[in-house]
Structure 1
Amino acid sequence: MNPARIESRLRELLEAGALAKSTSSQELVSFVAPLLDSGVLAWERSGAGEKLCVRNAETLSSFILDRFPFTELEMEAEISRRVASVGRFRNTKTLRSDTPDIVTVRGWSDMALWHKGKPVVVSEATRKHAIFSFALTPDSRYELRTSCALVENPAVLLGFERFTIQSEIPLAIFAGGRVSHRLLDWLASQTASSLHVHHFPDYDPVGLSEYARLQGRLGDRTSLHLPVNLADYFARFGNKELLRFPATRRLLAKLRSVPIPEVCAVIDLIDRHNAVLEQEALLLRLDDCQGASRPGVA
């Protein structure tokens, strides 16, 4: 059902008093079924066909107002579509959103993120406030000029220093689970030859599926973070329960046909341990023969 089209036809019906049956779609007829049942609207003969007639204009007007509080012309031009969608249809998702993405990063170099040709002082914001955020619009002037991490979960983002790899990866971007289309488009549009996106997801079917999606857009400009001791983390902290969900099993089966070496390597670990690994585990230190190891690094 297209709410905007329904609204337009209802207002036309109210103004004209009738609509030809040939121009009354099935979705419109279904929408006004309560009005037909109550006699507010009725079918009447019109030549060789029928027309939908208004029997009670006041009730029809109330019906329209109840479902479509504001017309398109009554909405303020400067408000976002998400707000307008509530005003017109009582549902934020009816109109396609134009709300900017809020991109949250942490940085340890002021040469990583640039805006309008000038470097952004991300390191100071990270030091003082732990994070830096900006609004990503379709015509955004922000650009990346170095390697970065795309981190799925907030705990790993906030604990990223424990990896001690800031010299190689001086910027971490919060993915928030599934990367938004706009953020992915922005990453794919970057032109700096030094850019490489290191993906830090959960080591489970959802995380691997997301990495495959990144690969599809970024190609060899992205890689999956695979610590050399990842198998040890699986053995010590892998979660068997999370692998038992039917949806997880179905997604895992689909991923077996994905010809990406990193995905295959993690699936091998999942099979070997019959478990998945949440990325927060990498912030824990494993003891090895040389003493306390660094958290999970490549």
Structure 2
Amino acid sequence: MTTPPALSPLARVLYQLLEGGRIPASQVSRAVIVELRPLLDSGAVNLVRAGAGYTYSVAHRQAVKSFADSRFPVGLMQGAAGADLSDRERGVMEVRDSKRTRGVGFEYALVRLAPGLELLRTDGPVPWHATLPEGAPSAWAVAVVLEEESAGDWRLSDPDAHIAVVENLDTFSRVDLADIGVTAALFAGGRLSSRQIALLTSLAAAGHGILHVGDYDPVGLEEYLRLKELVREVSLYVPEDLEALFKLHSTPAILQKPRNRSALARLRTVTDPAVRRVVGLIDAENGCLEQEAITVAHRASMDT
């Protein structure tokens, strides 16, 4: 018997039970067995000996059919017609809930580029590149798609270009790229995803340096160390006036959370020079500094 494409492992098992009356136990995962528990407990499906192994066999077909209809309201065969559906669309078809599935299978990455700089993807049948139009506002960014399987092979048109990883959207849109010594910036949006890290790994392999621009607190420092461990070619942005910024703008509020104090204790044992300097300032001022202080200081210097 040929099994058509189905929406999930459970759907495939139910299809075989309804069409053939049985399925080898070796083809049923533990996760599916858990989902089949109502049918097993009621006796609608039984585990029986078959030769040298075991088989799940249907005892009450109508009960199995009713169970399948309740779990897959549009039918077990809809997977064949919906091969191009996203995970969330598939979730609606399968269990009437888009949030029960993993996501949309891709994500958008926002990248700011200096005038004339191009972001290029060199793998695939058609070379791809993105740049901003001449005269575009400095806060403009390009959006690129990062697929689930691989970020692809990426590089910047200037082989000496560096890219910043900026944690917060406000800083990402306002920071002067030249002021922090880069010509491109990736919006991290908090903790970097695996796809974003794959993109940065590809850029690092092409010879581009990566600058981490995050909050100067335990969470931001641990994210920097995580990225450095995965990508290697990463440095922490430490402005020359960081000590003055700490004195002006640091706050003890972040350190009131026990998990942040525990993280700070771990960071005190790190040998990375940049981390040690920031941890020293956190201890000295008994407070942490949000990255927005960088743009505040830059704008203040422009006004004087």
For the aligned pair, the TM-score class normalised by the smaller chain equals 0.7 to 0.9
Q: Is the 8 A contact 1:107 1:123 kept in 2?
A: no
Q: Which residue of 1 aligns with 2:142?
A: 132
Residue 165 of structure 1, aligned match among 157, 161, 179 = 179
Moved more, 249-258 or 171-180: 249-258
Deviation at 1:273, TM superposition (A): 2.0
Q: Is the 8 A contact 1:125 1:132 kept in 2?
A: no
Q: Equivalent residues in 2 for 1:148-297 (5 A)?
A: 148-161=163-176, 165=179, 168-190=181-203, 191-193=205-207, 195-219=208-232, 221-285=233-297, 293=301
> Could you tell me the TM-score, scaled by structure 2's length?
0.75
Residue 104 of structure 1, aligned match among 106, 110, 117 = 110
Moved more, 275-284 or 43-52: 43-52
Quick one: percent identity of the two aligned structures? 31
Distance verdict in 2 for CA 1:170–1:71, change over 3 Å = same
CA distance in 2, matches of 1:30, 1:120: 48
Q: Report the RMSD for the aligned CA atoms in angstroms.
A: 3.8
Q: Is the 8 A contact 2:168 2:189 kept in 1?
A: yes
Deviation at 1:6, TM superposition (A): 3.7
Distance verdict in 2 for CA 1:234–1:94, change over 3 Å = same
Deviation at 1:151, TM superposition (A): 0.6
Q: What's the secondary structure of 2:191's corresponding residue?
A: coil
Q: Is the 8 A contact 1:149 1:200 kept in 2?
A: yes
Deviation at 1:294, TM superposition (A): 5.8
Q: Which residue of 1 aligns with 2:3?
A: none
CA distance in 2, matches of 1:250, 1:71: 52
Deviation at 1:211, TM superposition (A): 0.8
Q: What's the secondary structure of 1:184's corresponding residue?
A: helix
CA distance in 1, matches of 2:192, 2:54: 51
Q: What are structure 1's unaligned runs of at least 5 residues?
A: none
CA distance in 1, matches of 2:172, 2:25: 59
Q: What's the secondary structure of 2:211's corresponding residue?
A: strand
Q: What's the secondary structure of 1:285's corresponding residue?
A: helix
Deviation at 1:73, TM superposition (A): 4.4
CA distance in 1, matches of 2:129, 2:58: 63
Q: Deviations over 1:7-47 (max 9, x none)?
A: 33333233333457787766544323333454544577989
Q: Is the 8 A contact 1:40 1:56 kept in 2?
A: yes
Alignment-mate amino acid for residue 143 of structure 2:
S
Q: Is the 8 A contact 1:153 1:175 kept in 2?
A: yes
Q: Is the 8 A contact 2:88 2:102 kept in 1?
A: yes
Q: What are structure 2's unaligned runs of at least 5 residues?
A: 1-6
Q: Deviations over 1:71-95 (max 9, x none)?
A: 5742433334454355346566777
Deviation at 1:202, TM superposition (A): 0.9
Q: Is the 8 A contact 1:111 1:119 kept in 2?
A: no
Q: What's the secondary structure of 2:186's corresponding residue?
A: strand
Q: Is the 8 A contact 1:71 1:88 kept in 2?
A: no
Residue 15 of structure 2, aligned match among 11, 16, 26 = 11
